[in-house]
């Protein structure tokens, strides 16, 4: 537990990949009452903050400062002295060109307790993701980190260019693009061979990462031809020669491709992980929100008579989650299901059941109602008594087909799906900017609610052509078609992993 008094934690956020945030920084973020943060390469870090945390942005972008450094120092001191636990979140590492030491000195002078939590610096991570090791037994045994942000109008540089040129170190220049020509000219004039390998790494470790390599004398011309812009690191040294062989990150199939994920936030994690692992830039735009029912007296009553049902059919992970939440709230556990056979519609639902100690007796090969009914008929459900805990708004095909087969079916709504409270303006702006290449739909409700937030007419300008529409299955696809759109991508297996693979290959059938 943290001390119950004001304190400032200087946290390194790392270079942008959320997975590179340290566990300690994550834990402190989740406990801080106030979070003061710079411009971050990935705002996903803020998801770790507690819901009631005070979030204060103090960064700069494009040279425009939200607060001066002095004002930031005063803010940290004031918040800590008011008794707050303050997380000061800084990109990269606080002490590597992050002015963290200046903030620490001010805190110390003001009598404020502080801790420093180092972060992964972009100087190491960016080149590593681009296939450039900073040291190598054959090429370099030392590294020098240098700021490239010098005023070219200055009469003298702060750097000893001759010492840098003869050092034999790998040279890493922060903020090196703006003064790229000045840096390369100074190194060559100081005696570094013009043919020395050099590389630029932009937005390292993020889905927008790009890198290019040439010689020290040629890198400026190449950067101009490719319109390379800040923020980027300049790496100079023989280790750059390894980039073509070791560049693993930029081989990811969806690198830089924008994907809109319309699934509810409670459900989106698996799809997001699969897409981001393939390099995609994911834009969460949940068109539906999962809401609990006002009360659960019917569900609690059903718990008392579970042994009267022959089958319990779960149609979603949300149904499993809420069912077990209420089961535990009643002081019960999985043993209460001992007399029921259990069916799961889809592997994700089956996995959710297994996490709660239940191995389903039936999982259909394909995840549509007709296939489910056929499989259950083969297991003899014709006269069975069946309970289906599910969403309040759902297709009636499954219960009606089971009833037609002779089963006695009770449908029990245990959650509701509602249109999310969101604006489609930002997504349309990203589409117009060319940042989005795919929009994914995982259910009919995600389609219907998406078009409550985004006008079909506004989207028509970009589809087909610039943006592809991907649906998890034919039912969702037919809903999309009802709005006047064609399904571009649809997996043969109606699962989240198959949908992700569909985008990776970007061609139907998947």
* Predicted pLDDT at 380: 80
Q: Is 27 known to be catalytic?
A: no
Q: Is 293 known to be catalytic?
A: no
- Domains belonging to the chain, first-starting first, are 7-120 (3.40.1010.10), 124-251 (3.30.950.10), 258-287+420-505 (3.40.50.10090), 293-416 (3.40.50.10090)
Using CA atoms, how far apart are residues 278 and 296, in angstroms rounded to an integer?
41
Catalytic residue among 24, 74, 175, 361: 175
Catalytic residue among 27, 47, 60, 151: 60
Using CA atoms, how far apart are residues 315 and 335, in angstroms rounded to an integer?
21
Looking at the DSSP bridge assignments, the partners of residue 236 are 171, 198
* Predicted pLDDT at 65: 64
* Predicted pLDDT at 467: 94
Catalytic residue among 7, 17, 38, 310: 38
* Predicted pLDDT at 64: 59
Which residues neighbour 374 within 8 Å (Cβ) at sequence distance 6 or greater?
none
Using CA atoms, how far apart are residues 507 and 339, in angstroms rounded to an integer?
45
Residue identified by tokens 């245990």 is 414
Helix (H) or strand (E) holding 417: strand 408-419
pLDDT less than 50: residues of the chain:
1-4
Residue identified by tokens 């002295």 is 81
* Predicted pLDDT at 74: 94
Using CA atoms, how far apart are residues 118 and 116, in angstroms rounded to an integer?
6
* Predicted pLDDT at 346: 83
Q: What Rg do the C-alpha atoms of the chain give, in angstroms? A: 28
CB-based contact 384:407 (threshold 8 Å): yes
Number of H helices, E strands in the chain: 19, 21
């Amino acid at each position: 537990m943290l001390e119950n008094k004001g304190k400032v934690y200087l946290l390194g956020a790392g270079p942008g990949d959320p997975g590179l945030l340290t566990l300690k920084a994550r834990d402190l973020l989740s406990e801080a009452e106030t979070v003061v943060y710079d411009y971050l390469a990935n705002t996903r870090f803020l998801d770790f903050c507690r819901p009631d945390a005070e979030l204060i942005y103090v960064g700069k972008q494009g040279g425009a400062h939200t607060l001066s450094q002095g004002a930031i120092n005063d803010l940290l001191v004031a918040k800590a002295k008011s008794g707050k636990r303050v997380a000061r979140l800084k990109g990269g590492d606080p002490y590597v060109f992050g002015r963290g030491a200046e903030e620490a000195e001010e805190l110390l002078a003001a009598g404020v307790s502080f801790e420093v939590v180092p972060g992964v610096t972009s100087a190491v991570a960016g080149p590593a993701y681009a296939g450039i090791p900073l040291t190598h037994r054959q090429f370099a045994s030392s590294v020098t980190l240098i700021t490239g942000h010098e005023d070219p109008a200055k009469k003298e540089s702060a750097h000893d260019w001759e010492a840098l040129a003869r050092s034999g170190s790998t040279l890493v220049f922060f903020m090196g693009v703006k003064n790229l020509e000045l840096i390369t000219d100074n190194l060559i004039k100081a005696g570094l061979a013009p043919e020395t390998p050099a590389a630029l790494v932009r937005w390292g470790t993020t889905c927008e990462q790009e890198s290019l390599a040439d010689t020290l004398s040629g890198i400026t011309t190449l950067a101009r031809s490719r319109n390379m812009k800040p923020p980027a690191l300049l790496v100079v040294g023989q280790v750059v020669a390894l980039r073509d062989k070791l560049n693993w990150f930029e081989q990811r199939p969806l690198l830089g491709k924008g994907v809109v994920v319309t699934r509810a936030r409670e459900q989106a994690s698996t799809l997001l992980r699969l897409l981001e692992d393939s390099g995609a830039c994911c834009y969460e735009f949940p068109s539906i929100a999962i809401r609990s029912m006002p009360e659960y007296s019917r569900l609690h009553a059903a718990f008392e008579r579970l042994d009267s049902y022959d089958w319990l059919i779960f149609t979603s992970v949300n149904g499993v989650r809420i069912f077990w939440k209420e089961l535990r709230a009643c002081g019960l556990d999985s043993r209460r299901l001992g007399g029921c056979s259990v069916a799961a519609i889809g592997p994700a639902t089956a996995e959710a059941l297994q996490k709660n100690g239940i191995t389903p007796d039936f999982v259909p090969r394909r995840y549509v109602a007709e296939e489910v009914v056929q499989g259950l008929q083969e297991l003899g459900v014709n006269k069975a008594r069946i309970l289906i805990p599910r969403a309040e708004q759902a297709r009636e095909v499954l219960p009606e087909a089971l009833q037609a087969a002779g089963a006695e079916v009770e449908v029990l709504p245990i959650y509701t799906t509602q249109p999310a409270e969101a604006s489609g303006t930002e997504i349309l702006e990203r589409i117009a900017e060319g940042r989005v290449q795919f929009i994914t739909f995982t259910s009919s409700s995600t389609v219907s609610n998406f078009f409550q937030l985004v006008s079909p007419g506004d989207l028509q300008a970009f589809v087909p052509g610039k943006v592809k529409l991907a649906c998890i299955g034919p039912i969702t696809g037919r809903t999309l078609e009802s709005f006047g759109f064609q399904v571009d991508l649809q997996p043969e297996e109606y699962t989240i992993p198959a949908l992700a693979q569909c985008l990776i290959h970007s061609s139907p059938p998947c």
